[in-house]
Amino acid sequence: MASSRRDFSELNAKLERQLQRLPDPVRQRAQDKLQKYVPPALQPQRDEQTGTPGGRPSLSSELAVVSEIRDKWTRWNEPAAKLQRRKRRTSRALTLWVVLVLLSVLYAAGGYAGIVGGQAGLEGAFGGIIAMVLFGALAVRSGARLVRLNRTELPQSTPPPKLPPASSAAREPMERLAESEASLAELLKQLTTPPHGVSAAVPELSVQDARATADEAAKALRALAARMQSIERGRESAPAAERAALDSAVRTLRTQLDDGLDGYGTLVAAAGRAVAESSGGVSQAKDALTDATDRLAGLALALRDLSS
């Protein structure tokens, strides 16, 4: 009997480890099937509070903790947060120097009167005067820095769009889109600010055109990804007979997303070639960037029609 219980415990532990490796929805379905076909003695024990096997935290809670830490780190490194920390440090330093200046004034006055140091006149006040000048210079420096920080204007920046959940088929395309946007922004910046002594191979108007078209295409791609996510959420609660059609719709939208990202990548590649050719002043750089911009504009229009 003891051997049988030990075997059950070992099998229970194996089942628990296998379930922990599954995503939350799959794990839930597996638990439901275990309740139907497996004897209760072999089923992994669920924690009463979390509802997960063995009382361990669920995968979704672990991901939530990681996401919260990442968000806090992002907020800590924001330019506005950094500026506020510098202002607080400078203000505290200014307060310290002012207090030390006042103490130096009192010390100098006491030394001049002969109360401190045993000497009167300028000899007694000499140490306090030196300290007052030193701390006063540091206070003026901190005050000037605080004024400069208060006049600093931060660039208006919008937070990056939130990515779809890891379980969504739209996650990987949206990650690619974020990387492509960063690459294109850097390339277009280099086109607008060529090295000293080198003429720009692409006019400013063409660069602005490419930037505006890329923004429109990115909005259309994200709208398409949002539509895909809504279908995925509907699939979770749809009857089994209807899920095949929803899966097909998700695959179709994923194909359209991939096509849109290919078009976006074409613009990134054209901008890269323009940067590479700008040192030689080759006129083909402008034509290639203009053609890629026109193709992406047409693709963005088609994507907006699909997502509307």
Rounded to 10 degrees, the C-alpha dihedral 158/224/180/23 comes to: 90
What backbone torsions phi and psi does residue 52 show, to the nearest 5 degrees?
-110, 155
Can you spell out the DSSP letters for 205-232? Answer: HHHHHHHHHHHHHHHHHHHHHHHHHHHH
The tokens describing 172, both together, are 């990987």
Type of residue found at 160: P
Q: What is the pLDDT of residues 180-212, one digit of tens each?
A: 998 988 888 887 776 554 555 567 787 888 888
Around Cβ 63, how many Cβ atoms within 10 Å? 14
Mean pLDDT, residues 82-109: 92
Q: What is the pLDDT of residues 213-239, one digit of tens each?
A: 889 989 989 999 999 999 999 888 888
Residue 22 pLDDT: 56
Averaged confidence pLDDT in the chain: 76
Residue 175 pLDDT: 92
Sign of the CA dihedral 115, 117, 118, 124?
Answer: negative
pTM of the model: 0.50
More confident residue, 209 or 279: 209
CA 61 to chain centre: 20
Does the pLDDT at position 93 exceed 90?
Answer: yes
Q: Tell me how far apart the terminal alpha carbons of the chain are, to the nearest angstrom.
A: 66
Highest mean pLDDT out of 44-53, 234-243, 272-281, 296-305: 234-243
